[in-house]
A and B are shown apart, each in its own frame.
Chain A
Amino acid sequence: MNYSVIKGSSYVLVNAPDMIIHNGTTQTMERLLNPESEYLKALSDHIRSYDEVVNYLPNQVYIGNYSPEELRKYKQPWHDKKLADESREGKFGEIMPQDEFIALIKIVDVFDLVKLTKEFTDGVREKLKNHKLITDDLLALLKEGEEITEIEGLITDHAAEPIYNKGDLVGCVKRAHDIDPSLKAEVLFENLVSKASAVLAALHLLDKSQINLEDIDYVIECSEEACGDMNQRGGGNFAKAIAEFAGLKNASGSDIRAFCAAPAHAMVQAASLVQAGTFKNVMIVAGGSTAKLGMNGRDHVKKGLPILEDVLGGFAMLISENDGINPVIRTDIVGRHTVGTGSSPQGVISSLVTEPLDRVGLKIRDIDKYSVEMQNPDITKPAGAGDVPNSNYKMIAALGVKRGELKREELNDFIINHGMEGWAPTQGHIPSGIPYIGFAREEILKGSINRAMIVGKGSLFLGRMTNLFDGISIVIEKNYGKASESKSVSEEEIRLLVAEAMRDLASHLQKD
């Protein structure tokens, strides 16, 4: 079978300190319910500088400058392990500062909804001139900027959403309709942030993947936002909007939503589309979520920690036809949490891990690395949610013991050898299986591992349409070379062969 391959991936973070305060839902809800709270008063003292964010070990892992193995050498917690002089650039992407990102939101806005002040625009234009992926054409879309009084008027009189940088008002996002709740300024801000961070991830992917932009046929977007109007609240489609800015003239696309499991669903679908021959090159992409900034902030502040959910995450991936080199996506090893699976931990892990392996005769230990929910435990442990990747690994290992594939005393070694520490920000879809793809591709190409399983989970019950949650898994594997084209013979060819044989027979008979 000619599976599709993972040709490249990119990972970006955006430091968004002011968006934590003004757009993270923990903070916006607190402001509504308890505007004088001690948490809100203390919040700004707990926000990290851009340098601290760049020098934070899990962030450096996310953009590829440190490996998961190197991360394990540092004992948790990591927020007090100060790195120094780390780069904003990584082999997978970058950590963009907030001011440049605000400019990018303006650049990707095609409806002139984003207004930035002249002063801010002039300053950030100079910074972005040094960004290798922001072309002059993109930079021109920043325009000249507006007077601050105009922006203040839009906020006061027309319900525009303010944009702050370092505490200063630098712009706003206008509403796109007077009464449509799907087009109010707050929603548009969230959607434009998602789009801009996805565009950044796409630009990095295309820069690193050495592919002609014209050769990408299709884009699947898998973030968590909904764009549409009051008649189609989640109408879509981010994918095509992102493709437009990434210069993918020959691409169409669509959005996949499945809460945090959407990227894993996107991988299965992209791999299937390419393997079926429907498309040759499919890009998967997702931007970040402002709502989740500072989600566990109350607990971080209570424990004297910095607000660790201070970055937006984004990623992109290129799935292409089998080139005989890059790791293949085994579409025959897909695990699914089905409607009938139930919710017992054993049932969930069986459906996602052992059932697909059983189908092809593999054992739990035949998967070298499991990429599960890769949330950074620095963020989740102080909030009482524990070490999420570790909990997932324990469940896989326990199932292995139950099935007799592991001895009880091997449980911890299994977690160390087949698991990893989590390094991804709690941006929902961003930690869900996907963060390891970049490393997995490299490790498989190097030959240090042969197989990795990507497991995505999603909390569907949060949408109140079902009590179910969701999960899907897929295996990526070393490429053992392209399968040769199967030799099929057409009816016409058979007729010619028979005719030739008859002629030979006739000539023999004549000779006789």
Chain B
Amino acid sequence: MSLFSADRKVIIIGDRDGIPGPAIEECVKPTPAEIVFSATECFV
């Protein structure tokens, strides 16, 4: 079973000064996993 298999639900918390949420989303989208939450946070 891969990390992003169909039975996985993904929560994405991106960092504005690192990798923002939408960029991580794009990487997860080709996998069968379901993105249930994605946000970018500002830690400064």
Contact = CB atoms under 8 A, between A and B. Distances in A.
A386 B15 CA distance: 11
B18 to A, nearest CB: 6
Interface in B8-37: 14-23, 26
Contacts of B20: 343-345, 348, 469
Contacts of A165: none
A392 interface: yes
Interface string A453-492: 0000101011000010100000000000000000000000
Contacts of B22: 342-343, 467
Contacts, number: 54
- Interface centre among A260, A342, A344, by most chain B C-beta atoms within 10 angstroms, is A344
Interface string A255-297: 0000010000000000000000000000000000000000000
A470 B19 CA distance: 14
A60 interface: no
Contact of B43 (A342, A348, A380): A380
B6 to A, nearest CB: 26
Counting contact residues on chain B (CB < 8 A from A), the size range is: 10 to 19
Given A343-B40, A344-B23, A383-B43, A459 B16 contact: yes
Given A343-B23, A344-B23, A469 B44 contact: no
A431 interface: yes
A384 interface: yes
Given A373-B17, A385-B17, A385-B44, 16 more contacts: A342-B22, A342-B23, A343-B22, A343-B40, A344-B23, A345-B18, A375-B44, A380-B43, A386-B18, A457-B16, A459-B40, A459-B42, A461-B39, A461-B42, A462-B42, A467-B22
**Which 6 residue pairs of A and B lie closest in terms of their CB atoms, listed nearest first?**
A385-B43, A459-B42, A343-B20, A343-B22, A344-B23, A343-B23
